[in-house]
Amino acid sequence: MYSAGISYLIELFDCPPDILDDDVLIGSRIGDAVGHANATLLHQVSRRFEPQGVTAFALLAESHISIHTWPELGYAAIDIFTCGERAVPEQACRYLVSALEAGRHSVRQVERGVGLDENTSKPQLEPSGIVASPVSA
Amino acid sequence: MYSAGISYLIELFDCPPDILDDDVLIGSRIGDAVGHANATLLHQVSRRFEPQGVTAFALLAESHISIHTWPELGYAAIDIFTCGERAVPEQACRYLVSALEAGRHSVRQVERGVGLDENTSKPQLEPSGIVASPVSA
């Protein structure tokens, strides 16, 4: 069964607000996460919002990583979307859970483009599996 | 029940390969989608890969939109992550399904940070709902 890649949707809770509100630190951590994912960074941007909150994005040869933070809630939403055999997004998950010092977290995996077949011009879509799975920090 | 936002995970199938391989066009369409979402664009980047494929990303005040394409498969994976009451991501979904001329598509909605409570320092996480729902073009 061919799929185009996997999206990891990660929820971090009970993170220190000062970490989540530091755009330089979050930008550094997303860069480190690219390395942990064994991925290739093509473009990176981070932005701090007023009065609080940070968004950081890393465009990869293998798709992308995004981080959006809500310091006032101790919460961050992270997406890691990778394709190809070489990337190891699970390592980036574990790294970010640890690096952003989450007290609790959840990870959902969503397969993308399931049912695509490179040899078929009209691929049949089957319902994509969505799996909630803990990833230990 | 407080949530931080919603991720729409959109799969487009049977798109014309020439559309999916045109980084200028994809970049233009993601910009248009931001408008349809009633969102505020902060940063935009698009990149074409060799021998084929395009990634485009729009950083929003309300989170992000990403598009990754596989022209050889007629397939595109789109993420629209928005927060706040003002954004209308469903309109951006409909627009992109139409603009990229998808023959078939699916949309999954994933609520982010469900169970967060702005008045609670230790929010209780409940399992987030994942709803597969068609969005008519």
**B70 vs A113: CB contact, 8 Å cut-off?**
yes
Which of A13, A47, A123 lies nearest to residue B13, judging by beta carbons? A123
Across B117-126, b (16+ Cβ under 10 Å) vs e yields eeeeeebeee
Find the Cα–Cα–Cα–Cα dihedral B16, B19, B20, B22, rounded to 10°.
Answer: 150
8 Å CB contact between A96 and B115: no
This model of the complex carries an ipTM of 0.85
**A57 vs B57: CB contact, 8 Å cut-off?**
yes
Tens digit of pLDDT for each residue in B47-98? 999 999 999 999 999 999 999 999 999 999 999 999 988 999 999 999 999 9
DSSP3 helix / strand / coil % (chain B, rounded to 5): 25, 40, 35
CA B52, CA B31: separation in Å to the nearest integer? 21
- Cβ-based neighbours of A50, under 8 Å, separated by 6 or more: none
Nearest residue in A to B60, CA atom: A55
Quick check: B23 contacting A, CB < 8 Å?
no
pLDDT-derived band at B5, boundaries 50, 70, 90: very high
Report how far apart, in Å, the C-alpha atoms of B44 and of each of A45, B54, B89, B115, B119 are: 10, 14, 17, 31, 34
- pTM, whole model, 2 decimals? 0.86
Neighbours of A59 (CB within 10 A): 24
* β-pair partners for A76: A12, A69
Rounded to the nearest 5°, which phi and psi values hold at A133? Answer: -140, 135
Architecture of the A5-132 domain: 4-Layer Sandwich (3.60)
Residuewise pLDDT in 10s, chain A (137 residues): 678 999 999 999 999 999 999 999 999 999 999 999 999 999 999 999 999 999 999 999 999 999 999 999 999 999 999 998 899 999 999 999 999 999 999 999 999 998 787 554 443 333 333 433 344 43
Neighbours of A34 (CB within 10 A): 24
Which chain A residues contact residue B73 at CB under 8 A? Answer: 4, 113, 116, 118, 123
| Mean of pLDDT over chain A | 87
- Cβ-based neighbours of B51, under 8 Å, separated by 6 or more: none
Report how far apart, in Å, the C-alpha atoms of A82 and of each of A15, A39, A88 are: 25, 8, 8
Quick check: B131 contacting A, CB < 8 Å?
no
Which chain B residues contact residue A49 at CB under 8 A? Answer: 61
Q: In chain A, what are the domain boundaries?
A: 5-132
Residue B13 clears pLDDT 50, i.e. is over it? yes
**A72 vs B112: CB contact, 8 Å cut-off?**
no
**A9 vs B110: CB contact, 8 Å cut-off?**
yes
**B122 vs A14: CB contact, 8 Å cut-off?**
yes
Residue in B133, B11, B128, B135 with CA at minimum distance from that of residue B75 = B11
Quick check: A135 contacting B, CB < 8 Å?
no
